[in-house]
Amino acid sequence: MQNSYSDAYKAAGVDVTAGYKAVELMKAHVARTMTSGVLGGIGGFGGLFEMDLTGMPHPVLCAGTDGVGTKLKLAFLMDKHDTVGIDCVAMCVNDIICCGAKPLLFLDYIACGKNVPEKIATIVSGVAEGCVQAGCALTGGETAEMPGFYPEEEYDLAGFSVGAVDRSKILDPGRVEAGDALVAIASSGVHSNGFSLVRKVFDVEKGGLSQHHDELGMTLGEALLTPTKIYVKPVLAVMEELTVKSVSHITGGGFYENIPRALPNGKRAKIERAAVEVLPIFDLIQKTGGIPEHDMFNTFNMGVGMILAVGREDADRAVAILNAHGERAKVIGQIENGEKGIELC
């Protein structure tokens, strides 16, 4: 790449040499994610991955894509960029496991106003950490310098993941029956949803992110930037031992939108409000913004990042497996006959 430069392009705001430096700086982070299926390294026109289909007589690919959303605004304000990559990976791989699939690979896309190599590499370090937590490989990505489209200090971050599952093991909400238990896994915080409301409630552009809150045990900014929990390994561990009928990833739309997505017609989820361990950050959001409880549960995860529907006889074992993997899990409700939806009581 030593002869690849363009003074004219640089004068227009795009420095191709900065892109090459960013790739060099991120290589060590990407190397952490390499799995046995990866063929070659980064820098080519595509990422090659050889699938291990052992135990999959009828393999099916499952893909998911997402971004970090306006949570990035807090990263800009705090000038902290090493964790938003975890959010990006989490939002994709947590969706994939709702189908019963194991994530295999991930690719990211970073669009920025100005390519600062060290900053891009820091962002990618978070992506790599997310991939390590999910057990998938970062097989490539793209950094696009777009002067005049983004402010110099800002960027957008998105990605997608591809996983695989044997067709016989694809989760089918149609198997959910009355009497099944709903096992909740605790979230790490707000995750990556509802930040347009969060930013409005706290008016973050005017400050306050550095304020320490005793109930949070940290500053407001630290609490809000806490990366999204990645549930891949513990949930797959449950699936290896038990029959998991469906999984809900509690993202934008909270309980009211996401739980019904994993239910068949004629079945509803009855959630015990007292069993939901609402995290302090949500109490602070609700109190500060004067937000009705229904709206809170219809916007945020409220402390529950994922919900598994399992047979009542498997509920205790599912909780034990999840807790053994370092999660905080508990039964928070059950399935009943009725119009598809949820009842929070």
Q: What gap in Å lies between CA 190 and CA 296, rounded to an integer?
A: 11
pLDDT at 146: 96
Q: What gap in Å lies between CA 327 and CA 323, rounded to an integer?
A: 5
Q: What is the pLDDT along the chain (345 residues), one digit of tens a residue?
A: 556 767 776 777 777 888 888 888 888 999 999 999 999 777 778 889 999 888 899 999 999 999 999 999 999 999 999 999 999 999 999 999 999 999 999 999 999 999 999 999 999 999 999 999 999 999 999 999 999 999 999 999 999 999 999 999 999 999 999 999 999 999 999 999 999 999 999 999 999 999 999 999 999 999 999 999 999 999 999 999 999 999 999 999 999 999 999 999 999 999 999 999 999 999 999 999 999 999 999 999 999 999 999 999 999 999 999 999 999 999 999 999 999 999 999
> Model-level pTM?
0.95
pLDDT at 270: 98
pLDDT at 17: 85
Q: What gap in Å lies between CA 298 and CA 293, rounded to an integer?
A: 8
Q: What gap in Å lies between CA 255 and CA 342, rounded to an integer?
A: 8
Contacting residues for 54 by C-beta, under 8 A, at least 6 apart: none
Q: Long-range contact list for 1-6, CB < 8 A, 24+ apart?
A: none
pLDDT at 9: 67
Contacting residues for 194 by C-beta, under 8 A, at least 6 apart: 252, 254, 299, 300
pLDDT at 43: 72
Residues 128 and 94 sit within 8 Å (Cβ to Cβ): no
Say if strands 59-67 and 155-166 run parallel, antiparallel, or are unpaired: antiparallel
Helix axes 16-31, 117-134, angle to 10 degrees: 30
Query: From the CA atom positions of the chain, what is the Rg in Å?
Result: 21
Domains of the chain: 7-169 (3.30.1330.10), 173-344 (3.90.650.10)
Q: What gap in Å lies between CA 210 and CA 208, rounded to an integer?
A: 5
Residues 335 and 176 sit within 8 Å (Cβ to Cβ): yes
Give the angle subtended at the CA of 333 by the CAs of 293 and 189, to the nearest 5°. 50
Residue 77 has φ and ψ, to the nearest 5°, of: -65, -35
